[in-house]
Amino acid sequence: MNCRTEELFRCIHCLDRFPRDQRTRDHVLPRGWYPDDTPPDLERWTAPCCRGCNTRLSKLEQNLGTRIGLSLGPNHPGAIGIYEKSLRAMNPGEGRDEADSRARLALQREILGDTLNGALIDTRAILAGLGPAEGVPVTELPAIPLPVPMVDGFCHKLTRGALWVFDEQVVEPPRRIELYHVNDCGDQFIENVNELLETSGQHFHRSNTIDIWIAPAVDAPREILMRFRIWSKWDWYAHATELDV
Ligand SMILES: [Zn+2]
């Protein structure tokens, strides 16, 4: 097949080019992650994505979103309805048809099968912001594992989407995204990065659902530092860089 290049679009995730009629819109923050009290006219950020990546990422987001949603509990103000959505995602009785009910049951079995007794986990492994409410002992709660490839796959996806929305940047080699989870960073690192983002960054805020801070990391336009905060709960950092560390 021959195709004129101007009739192609580029998927920001796999970086391949596809005919324009195959273009889909990837929701930078997954559609299902917006709380029930999100204003209906809120602009939902999207980025160009191929069908294959959209399908793959939607599955990942649903699985990860259900796991995280369960840990939020029913009353978190930044995530109204997310906990209930997680319960419905695992409830075969909510299925639209037989196949959907089977998929919900499979997700329920997968997540419940992964769930651990809180007494058995290393508390250092609890993702910052996603632990129990203050004063609730970890040992009294079940722990829902968040597989590293799932968490990092999602964080990479969100970072790529945010860079596209803010500056139409596509991250391609040798440029890459480095992720920093709060658990793995020292307090001093967090303090320095937050100060840099507060003083020289831009802050985008979407009704308690997501906050993104973005700033040049050093004096080079392609070195970008970002902080993400989802549901006023879960903080993590990303660095788009082409420097050798
Ligand atoms: Zn793709």
Ligand 1 centroid vs 149 CA: distance in angstroms?
A: 18
Q: Are residues 185 and 235 in the same domain?
A: yes
In a domain, 159, yes or no: no
DSSP letter, residue 141: S
Q: For residue 94, is it within any domain?
A: yes
Domain that holds residue 207: 171-241
Determine, yes or no, domain membership for 55.
yes
Domain count, the chain: 2
Domain co-membership, 196 together with 112: no
Regarding whether 190 and 102 lie in a shared domain, the answer is: no
pLDDT at 2: 59
Is position 22 within any domain? yes
The sign of the CA dihedral 118, 124, 125, 127 is positive
Is there a domain that residue 161 lies in? no
Position 157 in a domain: no
pLDDT at 245: 62
Nearest CA-CA partner of 209 in 25, 26, 43, 12:
43
137 and 229 fall within a common domain: no
Q: What is the pLDDT of residue 92?
A: 97
What separation in Å is there between the alpha carbon of 209 and the centre of ligand 1?
Answer: 26
Ligand 1 center–CA 172 separation, angstroms? 13
Residue 232, Ramachandran bin (φ over 0: left; ψ between -120 and 50: alpha; else beta): left
Has residue 154 been placed in a domain?
A: no
- The phi and psi torsions of 139 (rounded to 5 degrees) equal -65, -15
Distance 119 CA to ligand 1 centre (A): 41
Measured in angstroms, how far is the CA atom of residue 2 from the centroid of ligand 1? 20
d(CA 227, CA 6): 34
pLDDT one digit per residue (tens) for the chain, 245 residues: 555 666 899 999 999 999 999 999 999 999 999 999 898 888 889 999 999 999 999 999 999 999 999 888 888 888 999 999 999 999 999 999 999 999 999 999 999 999 988 887 877 778 877 887 777 777 778 889 899 999 999 999 999 999 999 989 999 999 999 999 988 888 899 999 999 999 988 999 887 789 999 998 777 778 999 999 999 889 999 999 998 76
Give the Å distance between the CA of 216 and the centre of ligand 1: 27
Q: What separation in Å is there between the alpha carbon of 164 and the centre of ligand 1? A: 14
pLDDT for the residue 6: 66
Do 12 and 80 lie in a common domain? yes
List CB-based neighbours of ion ligand 1 within 5 Å: 11, 13-14, 50, 53
> Is 113 a member of any domain?
yes
Distance (angstroms) between ligand 1 centre and the Cα of 57 equals 10
CA of 16 to the centre of ligand 1 (A): 6
